[in-house]
Structure 1
């Protein structure tokens, strides 16, 4: 899915980042040998876990929206996240919640990051894009993604797992039909920040 601003281009056939191009990260994490940038390759993973959580994990974040509610459990080293939606879920303002703080450097607003993520449509509770399902992280510049995705990542630390309930204006205000996103849909993401380079 492509989280780019104007177009929803599929990371694997999804379009959610204004500029989220899905590419697997290499085992060589970007680093800054000059010491002038923020090279945050906190043991960057080269894959995303694909296994579903076992049992009924306790949610790390629960949020009642303008309508509906969500319960989010972040990913672990061996399992993908769980996003449960009581649909239709909507929010009027984007809400970000750190599920577990990482111990890496802070991610600058202009960084290029590698993340594992899953996106769910609040209207129907369906997954519309997931690098966890593909098993491959996505790498993209924060300057090229939808506003809500940037709000979820910039200022976090590398290694963090984060959830965001994204208001329509911070996602795809006019919708993204190819991804099943309609005008006015709120989106929910669970993600893990693997690395960042300024």
Structure 2
């Protein structure tokens, strides 16, 4: 299982790749980007691959080709969506249809944080080929929400979701040029070059980019945490090394409380108490994801009950971290570790 709190600070790029957020099944085919999925990262579909050339899951009937030409629509009013938010919708239209430019429409308005370019999202969605009217992918049917960065998915998904809010149910339709045309379609999903695509998306959450909330004055006698160029700095100074786990919120976020079974998206940095040197650099990335249950005891005990959006100082004695040390991460036997962790998102693990 993934342990996303023990990687060496000298291997930041590899750590970020190994723990990158799960890629949506509709990742941009032919993209030069790549990512590696760890065993602790939720996979949005059985067809997802580490190369980001993942193809949406599909039923055999989705490859059927209509005999008439697609009607080009100019308004999403031509599409009917039925069903309650939170459940898989039924989508109907006079198939086949197509669209010249990506459009989106709010079917149910939310009031949460707004989606920005490059945001990391947690969503439920269904994807339909507008040529055939067939569903080619659905997180609803898998029973697991998808978590991904908008920088990792096809252009139409980015265009269709930016500006919308947590709680929105959004109808998105895109031309093939914003879908899979650059890869000649997606044969496994029955999507041909030129096919327009339709998605109904429930936006469940948008990750914070850094801690945000109410500043908390730490208890006296703890190491001092400051921020420089957006990165935590630690001064141990005359602080007394504790013998038990210390959990000190520095910023109290307003999000949901973390549970023991959550998958977390975090930024973090850690230091060795004995030297004050950084031993693990996970803060300068866009965020690192993994299951809380796979981490060291200090994280399991210290982060459960904290709220999303929080920044938390953890001081972990050897018994709560690595009693025997970890030479691969430059952690000596008996070392006390200090962590500063920003909790950006928490999603339920099915």
With normalisation by structure 1, the TM-score equals 0.71
Q: How far did 1:90 drift?
A: 2.9
2:185 maps to 1:188 = no
Q: Deviations over 1:125-155 (max 9, x none)?
A: 00011222x4331101011000101222211
Match of 1:43 among 201, 206, 217: 206
| Structure (1/2) with the larger helix percentage | 2
Query: For residues 11 and 127 of structure 1, do their structure 2 counterparts lie closer, same or farther at Cα, with a shift above 3 Å needed?
Result: closer
SS in 2 for 1:99: strand
Q: How far did 1:62 drift?
A: 5.5
Q: Tell me the residue number matched to 1:106.
A: 257
Q: Tell me the residue number matched to 1:56.
A: none
Pairing of 1:35-114 with structure 2 (within 5 A): 43-45=206-208, 60-61=217-218, 64=221, 70-73=223-226, 79-86=230-237, 90-114=241-265
Q: Deviations over 1:53-102 (max 9, x none)?
A: xxxxxx953554xxxx51124x59x7122211238963210010111111
Q: How far did 1:191 drift?
A: 1.1
Q: How far did 1:3 drift?
A: 3.8
C-alpha distance in 2 between matches for 1:191 and 1:84? 16
With normalisation by structure 2, the TM-score equals 0.42
Q: How far did 1:177 drift?
A: 1.1
CA contact (8 A) 1:87 1:125 kept: no
C-alpha distance in 1 between matches for 2:21 and 2:144? 22
Pairing of 1:8-23 with structure 2 (within 5 A): 8-10=6-8, 13=11, 22-23=19-20
Q: State the number of aligned residues.
A: 173
RMSD: 3.6
Q: How far did 1:194 drift?
A: 0.4
Q: How far did 1:48 drift?
A: 6.2
Q: How far did 1:22 drift?
A: 3.0
Query: For residues 186 and 129 of structure 1, do their structure 2 counterparts lie closer, same or farther at Cα, with a shift above 3 Å needed?
Result: same
Higher relative contact order (CA 8 A, sep 6+): 1
CA contact (8 A) 1:70 1:83 kept: yes
2:278 maps to 1:115 = no
CA contact (8 A) 2:315 2:339 kept: yes
**Higher Cα Rg, which structure:** 2
Query: For residues 121 and 13 of structure 1, do their structure 2 counterparts lie closer, same or farther at Cα, with a shift above 3 Å needed?
Result: same
Q: How far did 1:179 drift?
A: 1.8
C-alpha distance in 2 between matches for 1:148 and 1:32? 32
Q: Which runs of 5+ in 2 are unaligned?
A: 23-117, 126-139, 148-165, 167-203
CA contact (8 A) 2:218 2:248 kept: yes
Q: Which runs of 5+ in 1 are unaligned?
A: 50-58
Q: Tell me the residue number matched to 2:201.
A: none
